Structures are given as structure tokens and as C-alpha cells.
A and B are shown apart, each in its own frame.
Chain A
Amino acid sequence: MRVLYPLAANLLLLVASFGVGNLLRPLFPQTLGKLDRLAATALGGLGILGTLLFLIGLLRFSRSVILGALIVAAVFGVAAILREVKAPDSHFSLSGVLVLPAMAVALILVITFVGGFAEPVGDIKLDAISYHFLGPRVWLRDAVIHPLPDEAHASFPAVVETLFAALTSVGGTRAPELFAVIALSLLLVVAFGFALRMGLDSRGAWWTVALVGTMPVVYRGSYGGFNDAVVAGLCLLALRFALDAVEPKDYALAGIFAGLAMGSKYTAIIAFLLIAGCVFLNIFRGGDQKPGKIQGLLVFFCSAAVVASPWYLRNWLVLGSPIYPPPPVLLRFFTVKYMSPEAIHALAALVRKEGDGMGRSLSSFLLLPVHLTYHPANFLNGAGGVGVALLALAPFGMWMLRRERSPQILLLFGFLQTVAWFLTEQEARFLIHLYVIFAIFASWGWRYVTVNAPRFGPLLSGVAVACSILYGSFMIVSSRLDDVHAAISSNFERQRMAREVPFLESFAYLNGNPEVGKVLVVAPRFPTFYLKKSYLKPVGRYGEESLPGVATHRLLENLAAFGITHVIDVRVDDKDFQLQGKTGNLALVFEKEDQRIYRVPSTLVVPTPTSPNTHNWH
């Protein structure tokens, strides 16, 4: 069952994505190749499906509703796949597969597939545990999608997290981990199509895919709850369709993909604005400024805004700001709930500090390619790096294509996106779409070097590509060995959970005890992802206040009003127990070194029909 359910859930989601993505088919350009159509259909379908499930989930998010939606979409998906299989192929054939790059990609995908069956573990420092998987778990428990007042990050746009919730509902908690295979595969197919679009032949496209697929940074953004591979794929498709757009329907298609990217991650807003700017420039440099193109740009803006709007409108209506938690500058315009201005400023300062990379000076910017190649661990989630081929070969590809219009636009986009990233948050995985573009330039650079430095150039280029692929594969495989081991050995998985899940004994007590109804979590950094019971966390890890104005000690005096049956207090991150000497009538029922669980005397408990986290929403 630990294999069957997650696998079935992911297959169902993939087929359903083809069904929903088929809605985009009338907008696809006639010249689009078969593989590109498949990637755009599946990726677009996943995005639309995530958005639709979100809209449905605002009203009801039970397993039957999710399954019903997925099955209906999958029926259309089967028809769409059958039609696509019968369609003539334009670019891709198995005989054109290059063995070496294909083997590297296959190795990474096999590791991802096997490792995907491991149960997620880790403490609250992992984004997956703190919010990517927490939101889905709480939504499914409450059978409705709602913000989590104690975890601001769970209010980010969540196309991918909504899909995680659907996968969890059908296939259990392992299923979202397995989704990494779909996310990474689709990104690689998009990269293949983009490489062909940039003039490379099938051979060059295969090497591009191998370079991208074995970049540890790219890989890190595709598993463990991260949604960056999906966002990068959506951004690349938006960019590609926008650059090639002729008619308003082409711009609408590009806008839909940009909107889906913005519905998946805030950082895609910057990419969207830059794509719009580049398209604007493209139109005016082309010298064929037809009124239809300006109209097309408007269509691009509007379609993107409409597609992304559900997430931002929900946040605005429910939390007070379309972007939540808001950057401090938005506090002038919006009054937000559940976070004080001080907490928002502190969070912004933390993000800035963590995203400092190797500095923000001009010299740091100029040395960025060198730093990202040699010191990637200094950038958040950059460990393992992007490989050596980009720095070694991409400059020659840029030089070679410098006079062509599309590469010029791509370079401008890459430069502006890098500047924006450099000035905001230097998290390595936020640039995955640029790594794909620079891998394409590296493949062109390889050709340039082979022709223009025939003596040692081919050998040195080959070594650079081989180093990138081999070192990247080594880093990726070694980082997933524990997951693979856990997936194939129940014993090891149990040992790993005991080692890596904090407060495991308390979770066993609370989850397995039928007397436990609702739990009061007093430590802000307690990982509630593992808690299967309803809970109330009055203060979140970034100072979020679930019950604004109600101090914890006042809450302890009124536990009855919230239907709390148990209170958990832990020592975490060098912070002592929160309830030292303030336990009142609470009875200590479980104690371990860093963990204490109290039972609320039954006379104090007044059961309420709503769960604590939904308390504020109904």
C-alpha cells in the first residue's frame, strides 16, 4: 500500500491534468511540437487543476469532492492522451535519443521515483514540514481550504500545495513526495522544447536537458515540498509563448501560464512583469507595431491577472492584503490580520538576512556567476550548485547568438531577473528558469568552442559538461540515499523517523489517544505537521497571532471556550518550557526530557463543533 496508493494518486493527477490542460489546446500555436504540446498541456493542466480545486475547496474540500473532480478530469484526460498519441510527431523520436545524457536523466528520475515513496521527515526548519505540507494536512482535516493564522507562509499562493492536498487525500502523505517525478520530468520536457526553439538540434537539446536535470539546485527545487520546478516550467512556457506571440490568443496563452506561475509563487510576479517588459520591447524593436500587438499585450496582462486572482483576492478579503504576509511597504495601504507590523518588519528583516547570499555590493553582483558556481552553499538551498558548464561555456553561446533577436531578449530577461533576485532574496532555487536558459546558451557555447578552438576546445568543453553532469549526479544521488533507503526498508524508515521527527513520543501519545480532542500548542516552533488532531497555536513562529489580543495566560484560563482537551509544551531551539509554573489546574499526563503534555480537567472542557484553526473563519 505504501507504493500503490501514492503511485495511483500521482497517475490519477497526471491524467486529470491532461484532461483539464486540454482546455488550452485551442490556444496552442499550430507550429508547436508534440512534446511541447504534451508538456504545456500537463503543466497548464496541473496549474488550472490546482486553481479549480482551490476554488472548490474554499467551499468544501473533502476526499469525495477531490476524488470526484479528479476522476471527471481524468476521463477527459484519457481521451486527450489517446488523441495526442495518434497525432504525428514533429520533433521527437526514440531513435534521436542520445544515450549518455538520457542515462544521466534516467538515473536522476529513477532515484526520484524510488525516493518519492519515503514518508516526509524533518523538523520545522524544513519548509515542507513548516508549511508546504502543513497547509494541505489542515485543509483536509477541516474539509475546507483556509489560511492558517498561526503560519503566515501557508497563505502563499498555493497551486502546487493544493495539488499536494489532493495527492495526500487520495494517496497518503507519501504521494506529494512522489510528485517530484512529475514536476522534474515536465520541467525537463519544457527545457527540451525551449532548446529546440532556440535553434539547437535534438542532440543539443538532450545535452541541455542533462545539464539541467543534474543541477543540484534545480533538483532541490523539485522535491521535498518545493514548488520551484513547476514555477520555473510555467515561467519558461509563458516566456516562450509571449516571445513567439502574434495574435491575441497567443498572448492569452502566455498570460495564462504567467498567471498560473503567479498562483504558485509570489516571486513569479517579478518574472511576469519582466516578461511583459521584454515582450513590449520585442514588439517595438520588431518594427511591425501592429495595433493587434498592443492589444495582445493587454490580453497578456488581463489573462494573467484573471488566472492568478483567486489567491490574491482570497488573501485580500480574508487576511487584509493580497500579498500575505505583506512586504513592509504594503503596510501603508493594507491593514492585515494575525500579524502585527512589528512581526512583519521582523519577518522581512529575516528574509533579507537569510537571502543575503554572498553580499549585495556591485562586486558581489559582478562575481555572481563565479560565486554560484564555486560557493553555491552560501545561497539558500544552493548546495551542490549549478555545475561548471554554465560558467565555462554559456559566455561563448551568448557571444555566438548576440545578434539574434530572441537570444537578445532572453539575455535581457535573464539580466533583469538576476538583478531583481539579487536585490530581493538570493535563494538559489528561485532562478531555476534562468539556469535552463543559460544551459541552452552553454550548449550553443559548446558548439562555438568546438568550431573556434579546435585544438583543445572540444576536449575541454567535453570535460566541463562531463564534470557538471557527473558531479551533479553524485550530489543528487547522495542527497537522496536516505530517502531511497527509507522507501525500501520499513525498519530504516522507523529508525529515521525516531531520529528526525522531533517530539515523536508526544505525537504518538496525542495521535493515538482517543481522549485527545483539541490540542493547545504553546511553543511557536512546534512542528504541527505531525499532529493529526485539531490544534490551536496562539503564537506562530514569525509572531503570528491566531487570537489577536489574547495572551497565552488568558487563553489558559479559558480553555473551555475553545474546547481544548490537552496542552503540549516543549523545549525547542534552546527555549525552555513556556508553561513553567503556569499550569494551574492542568494535569501532567506525559513527560519526556523536552516534552510535557497536560490534560485539561474534564469539567473545564466544553466541546465545540468547530476545530480551533477554523474557529476564526466561521
Chain B
Amino acid sequence: MDRTASRSQLRLEKLFPWLIELWIAAVLLGFFVVRILGSGLGQRLLSSLGIHATP
């Protein structure tokens, strides 16, 4: 029982840095998509590249 708990704890500890990085990366990606590409400036830049947002 203890061994199983310590093993899962160990696995979680190994996973934890990845979870941290994943969280920050996801937040940054969301920010990039929603706030930058979704902004007026972002839309103009995308349009100039021939990419048009569809409503």
C-alpha cells in the first residue's frame, strides 16, 4: 500500500514540472490566439497574409 502510494507520488513529482509548463504554455497559446490574432491589428495582419477569419 505504502509502496503503491510512494510510487504514484514519485510519478506525480516527475509529472509536476511538465504540468506547470503545460499550464503556462496553454495560457500563452490562448492569449496569442484570442487577444493577439483576435484583435483588430491581428485580423489586419492575417488579412494582409491572405488569411480571412470566417464568422
Contact = CB atoms under 8 A, between A and B. Distances in A.
A374 B35 contact: yes
A464 B28 CA distance: 7
A453 B28 contact: no
A396 B20 contact: yes
Contacts of B20: 396, 449, 452-453, 457
Nearest to A449: B20
A610 to B, nearest CB: 51
Residue among B17, B25, B28, B31 with max Cβ neighbours from chain A (10 Å)? B31
B21 A457 contact: yes
A177 to B, nearest CB: 26
B17 A388 contact: no
A392 B32 CA distance: 13
Interface string B8-30: 00000000111011011101101
A421 interface: no
A409 interface: no
Nearest to A391: B27
Interface residues of B, number: 15
B34 interface: yes
Interface in A375-395: 375, 385, 388, 391-393, 395
Contacts of A455: 17, 21
Given A373-B31, A374-B34, A388-B31, A456 B21 contact: yes
Contact of B27 (A373, A385, A457): A373
Contact of B24 (A385, A449, A454, A471): A449
Contact of B17 (A373, A392, A395, A457): A457
Given A453-B17, A454-B17, A374 B24 contact: no
A589 interface: no
B36 interface: yes
A561 interface: no
B16 A452 contact: yes
Interface in A444-502: 449, 452-457, 460-461, 463-464, 467, 471
Contact of B30 (A374, A456, A457, A463): A374
Interface residues of A, number: 24
Q: Of residues B16, B20, B21, B36, which shows the largest number of chain A Cβ atoms within 10 Å of its Cβ?
A: B20
Contacts of B35: 374, 385, 388, 471
A388 B21 contact: no
Contacts of A392: 23-24, 27-28
A453 B27 contact: no
B36 A471 contact: yes
A456 B21 CA distance: 7
A464 B26 CA distance: 11
Interface of A: 370, 373-375, 385, 388, 391-393, 395-396, 449, 452-457, 460-461, 463-464, 467, 471
Interface of B: 16-18, 20-21, 23-25, 27-28, 30-31, 34-36
8 contacts: A373-B31, A374-B31, A392-B23, A392-B28, A449-B20, A452-B17, A453-B20, A454-B17
5 closest pairs, A vs B, by CB?
A453-B17, A453-B20, A460-B24, A392-B27, A388-B31
